[in-house]
Amino acid sequence: MEYNETQERLRETLLGEAKDSVRGLEGRDDIRAAILTGSAAWGKPNPDGDIDILLITRGGDGVCYRYLIPRFSPVRRRTEHGFIPRLIVEDNIEKAFGTRISCSMIEQLRNGRVLFQKEAEGDELVDRARGAVPGRFVIGAFIKDCKDALDELSVALGGNRRHEVVLAARRITRIAARALLLARDRTAVSKEKHEYRAVRRCFDARERGEYEALMGTADIEGEEARRVLDRSIEILRWVVEGKSVSTGLVRYD
């Protein structure tokens, strides 16, 4: 991926802030490595994004996330420190994409950037995540998902429910795309927003075109996208209000 000068500067800034946030932790014996993850470490850095750091521990009380908030802590942007025991990290790498957490952890580590480490433990875990290969059961799960979605499609076709047919077709497309991503690039998609990024990286132009056509986004232009987002916000606001939650949660300019 190529970056322009502004993005490079932002990346350096984020890296500096990330290092500052863990400086006081480096002397602790139980912390074996600090690994910067997320868009601050790879991809396109986001000026409004958080900084996410995995801290690999030995011993201690299990998993703990610490949220550093600028107003109260000496950080310039929201910073999350995830303290994860090494045994849990290893276990999730060994699960080889078999669970959502395993997918997420492998994805974070393989694109991680080591901030500090003891006895190369950070590099070792990043390498192991990069070498993780999907297990047979992952392929089995894909085949089952695919078969279930095809059955849904058949039922919708039989019932002449054209809108359900389109939604079932999109589900099949998504399942197939994720299988291709896993097989080609060992990219596990743990979040929706990661799917299109991986599609962009791993599919050729024809495949991308087919994916977009099937997902119904191939012809989307600016004005239509804005209209869809407006409608989405209205629906989410309605759902949230129905739950007696403050509407402030779904407010966008």
Partner 1 sequence: MLMATMRGEAETVAAELKKNAATMAVILTGPLALGIASAHSKLYFAVITDAEDGVIEHHFLDGGWAGVRRPIEMGKFPVSVARYLVEHGYIDMVSYKSLEAFRCGEVLWERDGVGTEMVEGSKRHIPHRVFIGESLHGAVSALDDAVSLLKNGDHRNAVLVAREAVTKAVGMIISEAENNRDAPFLEAAERLLPSEQYRRLQEVMGLRDIDADTARAHARRAREFAGYALREIGVNPDNIFGTEREG
- Give the phi and the psi of residue 57 in degrees, each rounded to 5: -115, 165
Cβ-Cβ contacts under 8 Å for 96 (sequence gap 6 or more)? 102, 106, 132, 133, 134, 135, 138
Using CB under 8 A as the binding criterion, the count of chain residues that bind partner 1 stands at 87
* 3 state DSSP class of 77: coil
Annotate each residue in 79-118 with x if it binds partner 1 (CB under 8 A) or - if it does not, as one string: ----------------------------------------
Q: Does 163 bind partner 1 (CB under 8 A)?
A: yes
| 40 close to 15: Cβ distance less than 8 angstroms | yes
Q: How far apart are CA 217 and CA 25, in angstroms?
A: 46
- In the sheet that holds 31-37, the strands lie side by side as 79-85, 51-57, 31-37, 113-117
Is 244 an interacting residue with respect to partner 1 (CB under 8 A)? yes
Of 15 and 214, which has the nearer Cβ to partner 1? 214
Report if residue 120 touches partner 1, rule: CB under 8 A.
no
Scanning 9-17, 92-100, 110-118, 231-239 for contacts with partner 1 by CB under 8 A, the matching segment is 231-239
Q: Which one of the spans 29-37, 106-114, 124-132, 178-186 is the region binding partner 1 (CB under 8 A)?
A: 178-186
Nearest distance, CB of residue 119 and partner 1, angstroms: 26
Pattern 11-40, binding to partner 1, x per CB under 8 A? ------------------------------
Q: Is 103 exposed, middle or buried (0-12, 13-18, 19+ CB in 10 A)?
A: buried
Q: What are phi and psi of 25, to 5 degrees?
A: -100, -15
**What is the C-alpha separation between 219 and 193, in angstroms, rounded?**
19
**Residue 6 interacts with partner 1 (CB under 8 A): yes or no:** no
3, 38 contact by CB (below 8 A): no
141 binds partner 1 (CB under 8 A): no
Using CB under 8 A as the binding rule, whether residue 172 contacts partner 1 is answered as yes
> What's the closest the beta carbon of residue 106 comes to partner 1, in angstroms?
18
| Interface with partner 1, residue 210, by CB under 8 A | yes
